[in-house]
Amino acid sequence: MKPYIEMTAEELSEELKKLKAEYSKVQAKGMRLDMSRGKPCKEQLDLSMGMMDVLDSNSDLTCEDGTDCRNYGQLTGIVEARELIGDMMENNPKDIIIYGNSSLNVMFDTISRAYTHGIMGNTPWCKLDKVKFLCPVPGYDRHFAITQYFGIEMIPVPMTPTGPDMDIVENLVSSDADIKGIWCVPKYSNPQGISYNDATVRRFARLKPAAPDFRIFWDNAYGIHHLYDDHQDYLIEILAECKRAGNPDLVYKFSSTSKITFPGSGIAAVATSPNNMEDFLSHLRHQTIGHDKVNQLRHVRFFGDIHGMVEHMRKHAEIIRPKFEIVVSTLQKDLGELGIGTWTNPLGGYFVMFDSLPGCAKDIVSRCKKAGVVMTPAGATWPYGKDPNDSNIRIAPTFPSPEELQSAMDVFTLCVRIASAKKLLAEKQA
């Protein structure tokens, strides 16, 4: 089939007629499929059921250092959890604070604390006229929702295949003291599934911010979430790199086991410099007496060590790899020759990113919905939900079964073709 752009108005019109007939048949099926959120599927959750067995009423819930996990205390988390998560995050256990069940919540708290009390003695953001954040785009909607919630002005920075455009980042961060932070998902990024290359990470570590309270919000949500054994992205460890660059306090690094064990019942963590950690703890001690240590111990006893965790992630990969392959192969098969979209082909993480012709994303997502397939809303990957090109769509393949996913992707590519043909035809007729 020839690219849509090369088609005449008549050919496009003919094509559209065929596609619409097909769409009517699809609609008649009354499907109900959800590809909107990065949720693990049932089979993935089943992988962690063994975690329900590692503690029972005969277990000794005492930590290595004698702490009774069942009682109050241990604000930074139990030693053995800091070791396990330290290995997972590639950081020293002493640089780790273990939190509750959600790294998103920790990020929210971190912004909230900067807003109410300021970072390391700097002016609280609520006392400033203007606070800005850099938002690599497309990016993660829940990040943007937090900064929007606090009235922080979001400045989009384009993503490239190697990470955010660092020329722009460096320029803005070094020249504007209102810029207090940047959201990053550095590995298997949301929604692209790409990873920052070495040069990008090195340039991040060497930023010279105009604001003394500028911090990189490094949300390494998918650090060990590889799809392949033999073909993996590698990310330079940012804390060590910042230290080497003489910028030890530049970064807050977040992670969790949400997509390793159970979302909502995992453990979250921050890794950061001793100065930042002191700052975190001076606030945290007013906030809580401690997080759930029994659940920390449960994770430690389940995995044993990082090797257990890596093995576990292989099993996740076996389940979701075929799903990613369905997405990419369907896009290739249905759209490969048509010149009406581009997409990523990630080696890990939870998402595939699709870019349509400009002005088609909302139409595509709306058509999908009317055929029973729920996608992440178009625009969600941009601050304020506004994609200026109306082209970006996040595809989340993990939750549906392979069969459902195939059906959903068939609908998706059909809707892409309809929206694109319609747009091109309108242009020709204009």
Strand residues in 244-330 grouped as ranges (E): 251-256, 268-271
- For residue 349, state whether it binds a second copy (rule: CB under 8 A): no
- For residue 401, state whether it binds a second copy (rule: CB under 8 A): no
Q: Which of 180, 291, 312, 394 binds a second copy (CB under 8 A)?
A: 291
Q: Which of 197, 232, 265, 329 binds a second copy (CB under 8 A)?
A: 265
Q: How far is the CB of 397 from a second copy (least distance, A)?
A: 16
- Which is it for the CA torsion 84, 290, 100, 149, positive or negative? negative
- For residue 228, state whether it binds a second copy (rule: CB under 8 A): no
Distance (Å, whole) CA 343 – CA 364: 15
Distance (Å, whole) CA 341 – CA 336: 8
Distance (Å, whole) CA 197 – CA 200: 5
Q: Judged by CB, which is closer to a second copy: 330, or 381? A: 381
Q: How far is the CB of 372 from a second copy (least distance, A)?
A: 19
β pairing state of 132-137 and 179-184: parallel
Helix (H, G, I), strand (E, B) or coil at 65: coil
Contact segment (CB under 8 A) with a second copy among 5-13, 44-52, 90-98, 219-227 equals 44-52
Q: Residue 35: beta bridge partners?
A: 375
Q: Residue written as tokens 């729920």?
A: 374
Contact (Cβ atoms closer than 8 angstroms) between residue 78 and residue 293 = yes
Contact segment (CB under 8 A) with a second copy among 153-161, 163-171, 190-198, 284-292 equals 284-292
Binding mask 116-155 for a second copy (x = CB under 8 A): xx------x-xx--------------x--xx--xx-----
Contact segment (CB under 8 A) with a second copy among 24-32, 57-65, 157-165, 223-231 equals 57-65
Q: Judged by CB, which is closer to a second copy: 17, or 70? A: 70
Q: Which of 2, 18, 29, 70 binds a second copy (CB under 8 A)?
A: 70
- For residue 281, state whether it binds a second copy (rule: CB under 8 A): no
Q: How far is the CB of 141 from a second copy (least distance, A)?
A: 11
How many other C-beta atoms are found inside a 10 Å radius of the C-beta of residue 5? 13
Distance (Å, whole) CA 96 – CA 86: 7
| Tokens describing residue 62 | 């005492």
- For residue 384, state whether it binds a second copy (rule: CB under 8 A): no
Q: Residue written as tokens 């209102």?
A: 178
Q: To 5 degrees, how large is the angle CA 424–CA 429–CA 430? A: 95
- For residue 426, state whether it binds a second copy (rule: CB under 8 A): no
Contact segment (CB under 8 A) with a second copy among 9-17, 192-200, 227-235, 285-293 equals 285-293
Helices 402-429 and 306-335, axial angle in degrees (round to 10): 40
Please, where are the H alpha helices in 92-165?
103-116, 141-149
Q: How far is the CB of 68 from a second copy (least distance, A)?
A: 7
Please list every residue from 103 through 122 that binds a second copy, using CB under 8 A. 104-105, 108, 112, 115-117
Distance (Å, whole) CA 231 – CA 416: 30
Interface with a second copy (CB under 8 A): 37, 39-40, 42, 45, 48-50, 52-53, 55-57, 59, 61, 68-73, 100-102, 104-105, 108, 112, 115-117, 124, 126-127, 142, 145-146, 149-150, 262-265, 283, 286-295
